[in-house]
Amino acid sequence: DTEVTQTPKHLVMGMTNKKSLKCEQHMGHRAMYWYKQKAKKPPELMFVYSYEKLSINESVPSRFSPECPNSSLLNLHLHALQPEDSALYLCASSLSQGQGEETQYFGPGTRLLVL
Amino acid sequence: GENVGLHLPTLSVQEGDNSIINCAYSNSASDYFIWYKQESGKGPQFIIDIRSNMDKRQGQRVTVLLNKTVKHLSLQIAATQPGDSAVYFCAGLLPGNQFYFGTGTSLTVIP
């Protein structure tokens, strides 16, 4: 089983709204990732959590706030987004970030539209 | 900066033919590579991976070749089927354990 689930599948929000994206995996993976993907572009790394601690923040604006409540869950809290933040938000997980355990498996993504 | 790139943005092949998708990388420290398939409206799906101590790895209908000398890898799909139509990304692992993705190749299979 290499399943990563994400909810919601689609989200439309205004620039003053607060919303959250959720990601879940039950593979025992200890590293989880958020990526942003614009149309016809590759995924861009936003955040990495390793053993429930934030290990990488790729200079993401503070209107995106990640949270890892436990080893199976990863959230992305959204507040005061801009229309240019509209994109597909992908969650991924890997066994760890250690040698031989880096293979990342992706969820289906949340398609976000900011109006 | 460090990058993993693709030679061609689009590729059209006839059903039943073999497909070859290429990828070049710039950082010789990259020692692990993954090919992903992304269908429209879906997340990237793992296809096959290869480590730098190998130069070839085969899966079901897919083969990945790695040439470290020229920093190039390719994905070969045998007997391409309509269900293979998708965007294919290569991703390379860089120091710091982050993956960087190529720009993607859109494969269209013509029935």
E-assigned strands of A1-115?
Answer: 4-7, 10-13, 18-25, 31-37, 44-50, 53-57, 64-70, 73-79, 87-94, 105-106, 110-114
* Mutation to test the A interface, candidates B34, B97, B100, B107, most A Cβ within 10 Å: B97
Sheet containing strand A4-7, strands side by side: A4-7, A18-25, A73-79, A64-70
Give the distance from residue A14's alpha carbon to the nearest chain B alpha carbon, in angstroms.
Answer: 22
* Mutation to test the B interface, candidates A96, A99, A101, A111, most B Cβ within 10 Å: A99
Please report the residues numbered 54 through 73 in chain A whose beta carbons come closer than 8 angstroms to any beta carbon of chain B.
56
Q: Do A43 and B101 touch (CB under 8 A)?
A: yes
A99-112 burial, b if ≥16 CB within 10 A, otherwise e? eeebbbbbbbbbbb
A48 vs B: CB within 8 A: yes
Chain-centroid distance of CA A108 in Å reads: 11
Give the distance from residue A103's alpha carbon to the nearest chain B alpha carbon, in angstroms.
Answer: 8
- Checking DSSP bridges between strand B62-67 and strand B72-77, what pairing results, if any? antiparallel
At residue A107 the predicted structure's pLDDT band, cuts being 50, 70 and 90, is very high
Q: Do B45 and A106 touch (CB under 8 A)?
A: yes
* Chain A residues closer than 8 Å to B44 by CB: 43, 90, 106
pLDDT for position A87: 97
pLDDT for position A115: 95
Per residue in B12-68, pLDDT (tens digit) is 999 999 999 999 988 888 899 999 999 998 999 999 999 999 999 999 999 999 999
* Chain A residues closer than 8 Å to B91 by CB: 104
**Which sign, positive or negative, has the C-alpha torsion B50, B54, B60, B64?**
positive
Per residue in A41-100, pLDDT (tens digit) is 999 999 999 999 999 999 999 999 999 999 999 999 999 999 999 999 999 999 988 778
- What's at B100, amino acid-wise? Y
